[in-house]
Amino acid sequence: MKKWRVSLALLAAFTLVAAACGDDDETTDTSPSTSGSDTSASDTTAPDTGGGQTSLDDLCQQAKDAGVSAPEGYKVSLVTDIGKVDDRTFNQFAYEGMVAASKCFGFETSFIETVSEADYAKNIADTLSGDPAIVITVGFLLSTDTLAAATDNGDVNFIGIDQFQTEYPANYVGVLFREDQGGYLAGVAAGLLTETRVVGVVGGREDVPPVVRFVNAFKSGAESANPAVRVLQVYNESFTDTTKGVSDAQQFIGEGADVIFGAGGKTGSAAVQEAAEQGKWGIGVDQDEYFTTFDGGNAPGADRLATSALKRVDIGVFSNIVAALDGSFASGIFTLDAANGGITYAPAHDAAVPADVLAKLEETRAGLADGSIDTGVDPVTGLPL
């Protein structure tokens, strides 16, 4: 079989050129965790990621043309961070990458939805009991338990989303992202759109480095686009507290904010939705929230979602599943950024975003991709430089 791997160079060929221009399966409650399985991806449709962006269908065809296939009885399992596979942001995007690969190659999938941090190790052990060839664990907070499981199960390949290790076993890849670039793009959009010169970012947990990168780079991007802007920010203890997200948005709006970026899972998405419903600008994260939080334009406020800072978790998952199938799986760090299309932004869809703002956003994306623009934030620690 001809080997095929989604390299950074290949992804660059699909990078966005002019961006300006699902239901989960049945689950069984096994408190404190929820698990489920499916044999195909036919029930899950990934959101349209807009003109020119990398398509999983294209990557599937590329792999098939290279002769990649799954052997009989092949299984891939996923363990979420706290939340569900239909959380409309981070977990869901990882899940969609898995089921898109399942649809492409015809293997069996299963998942466990984590309710509590105390269940990380148990959930990984439970999914291993199903004898999968690949285990995907979603999120920085699963790093320690994923490393332990990979070390003890050398015959299983592990894909860890947002998981940095100083050393990786031969069967473990950490998929990392330049969230600082995504946050910077969101900040530029906010700085250009604001009329009150006050914008806000609702983040998730401050002990999660990707969140810190999003938050600090949002501030940097907003200030680069509008030196007079005031940036409000808040971190939260939970990625799933929608009530707190709404409250954060209301607090920021009360302080004059007319643009809010959510970088905290469902907590952040609730803030974005509240802002949009109040007629302010909202900016989503991870997925194109027009198709998730705003139900493809059917939910109130869809016309006030200016864009979303896209973090192509689905590509990270899909690419490394293919690598496992074709024998080119490589341990270590697999980075997605603006240069290879892993970090970009969503179209404005129904929102009346001024053409000059869209043009500046694309100019910024291109500058981040070619290195002529720096985010002003350390891409590892997330701290301002």
Is pLDDT at 16 greater than 50 in this prediction? no
Which residue spans of the chain are classified as CATH 3.40.50.2300?
Answer: 8-177+312-340, 183-310
| Identity of residue 234 | V
Could you please state the CATH topology (level 3) that the domain comprising 8-177+312-340 is classified under. Answer: Rossmann fold (3.40.50)
Share of the chain above pLDDT 90, in %: 84
| Identity of residue 273 | Q
| 372 CB-near residues (< 8 Å, 6+ apart) | none
Number of residues written out for the chain: 385
How many angstroms separate the CA atoms of 10 and 24, rounded?
Answer: 30
Alpha helices in the chain (DSSP H): 8-13, 56-65, 90-105, 120-128, 143-152, 179-193, 209-225, 242-254, 265-277, 313-326, 355-370
- 114-124 pLDDT, tens digit per residue, is 999 999 999 99
pLDDT score at 33: 43
| Identity of residue 348 | A
Is pLDDT at 10 greater than 70 in this prediction? no
pLDDT score at 184: 98
Helix (H) or strand (E) run with residue 199 in it: strand 198-203
- 327-380 pLDDT, tens digit per residue, is 999 999 999 999 999 999 999 999 999 999 999 999 999 999 999 999 999 999
pLDDT score at 35: 52
Q: Does domain 183-310 have CATH number 1.20.810.10?
A: no
* Mean per-residue pLDDT, 307-336: 96
Query: Is 198:258 a contact under the CB 8 Å cutoff?
Result: yes
pLDDT score at 138: 97
Query: Is 43:105 a contact under the CB 8 Å cutoff?
Result: no
- 259-302 pLDDT, tens digit per residue, is 999 999 999 999 999 999 999 999 999 999 999 999 999 999 99
The average confidence (pLDDT) of the chain is 88
How many angstroms separate the CA atoms of 230 and 121, rounded?
Answer: 42
| 317 CB-near residues (< 8 Å, 6+ apart) | 94, 97, 98, 101, 136, 159, 161, 175
- 191-221 pLDDT, tens digit per residue, is 999 999 999 999 999 999 999 999 999 999 9
- 58-89 pLDDT, tens digit per residue, is 999 999 999 999 999 999 999 999 989 988 77
pLDDT score at 89: 75
pLDDT score at 308: 97
* Mean per-residue pLDDT, 231-240: 96
